[in-house]
Amino acid sequence: MSHLPEARVLVVGAGGLGCPAALALAHAGVGHLTLVDPDRVDSTRLPQPIWHRPSDEGRPRAESAAEGLARTFPGLSTEALTERVNADNAEALFRSHELVIDATGGTLTPFFLSDVAVLTGVPLVHGSVLRMQGQALRVDPEGPCLRCFYKAPPSPSAAPPMAREDVPGPLMGWVGTVQAMLALERLTGEAGLARDEALLHVFDGEALEGRAVRVRREPDCPSCAPGRWPGLTEHGS
C-alpha cells in the first residue's frame, strides 16, 4: 500500500458512481484524484451522490465533489475539470494518471473510454447501473477490453441512458465501491488473473445476490486485438 500516496487516479463523472468511488479511493490513501465532469449539481439527484450539498445547486459537480473530498481528507490532492472527456483531451488525461474510473453511467461513452485505455495502456475501471442491477469491470492493458464482452456499443434507442430515478443510492454505492476495490487491486499489484482474462462483477439489487462473469479477450475484437485498432471515435452519452 506504500505506493498509494503517490498514485494519481482520474475519475470521469462526479455523480452517483464517481462520488462513492472517490470516497473509497481517498479513504484507502490514494494521494491524488482528478474529477472531470461537465454537469452541474442538480437538486433532484441530491439523495444519491455524496459530496454535493443543497447549497451547491447549480455549481459544477467536479468542483463540488473535489471540495467535499478536500474537506474530509485534508492530505488529499484534488483537481476539478469542468469539461467533457473527448477525442481532443482524452489521451493526455489518461497518460497523466495511473488509472481511470469510468463513472459516466452512459451507454456509449464507456466504449470510447475503453478504446482510450487500449490506446494508452492505462487501466480503466468501468461501472454501470440500470435500475436494480449494477456491474463493474477493469480493463487492463494485458486483458480484454469492454468490446470483448459487449461486442459493440448499443444503439441509443435499444439501450436508454441509465435511469437514475429508478436506481437506489446503495446500489450506486456498491458499484462505486467495487470500482475502487478493482482500482486498488491494480494500483497495489494484487490483481491476479491470467493475461487474457478479466472478471465482470454483477450485483442484482432485487435478489441481493452477486456473481462474477469471466471475460476473455476476443481474438477478433475491433479494439484490442492485434492489428484491429479502430482509432478514437467519440461517442455520445
- pLDDT tens by residue, 179-226: 999 999 999 988 776 678 899 999 998 898 999 999 999 988 988 887
34: pLDDT strictly greater than 70? yes
- Provide long-range contacts, Cβ within 8 A and 24+ apart, for 130-133: 130/162, 130/163, 130/167, 131/163, 131/166, 131/167, 132/166, 132/167, 132/168, 132/171, 132/204, 132/205, 132/206, 133/202, 133/203, 133/204, 133/205
- pLDDT tens by residue, 73-119: 999 999 999 999 999 999 999 999 999 999 998 888 999 999 999 99
Rounded distance, CA 66 to CA 68, Å?
Answer: 5
Confidence of residue 3 (pLDDT cuts 50, 70, 90): confident
For 41, 106, 119, the CA distances from 198, given in Å and listed in that order, are 34, 21, 18
Average pLDDT, stretch 38-44? 88
**What domains sit in the chain, N to C, each tagged with a CATH number?**
4-216 (3.40.50.720)
Look at residue 89 in the predicted model and tell me its pLDDT: 97
Average pLDDT, stretch 61-71? 95
Look at residue 55 in the predicted model and tell me its pLDDT: 87
Look at residue 159 in the predicted model and tell me its pLDDT: 46
- pLDDT tens by residue, 129-169: 988 899 999 999 989 999 998 866 655 544 444 444 567 78
237: pLDDT strictly greater than 60? no
Kindly report the pTM of this predicted structure.
0.90
Look at residue 222 in the predicted model and tell me its pLDDT: 87
175: pLDDT strictly greater than 80? yes
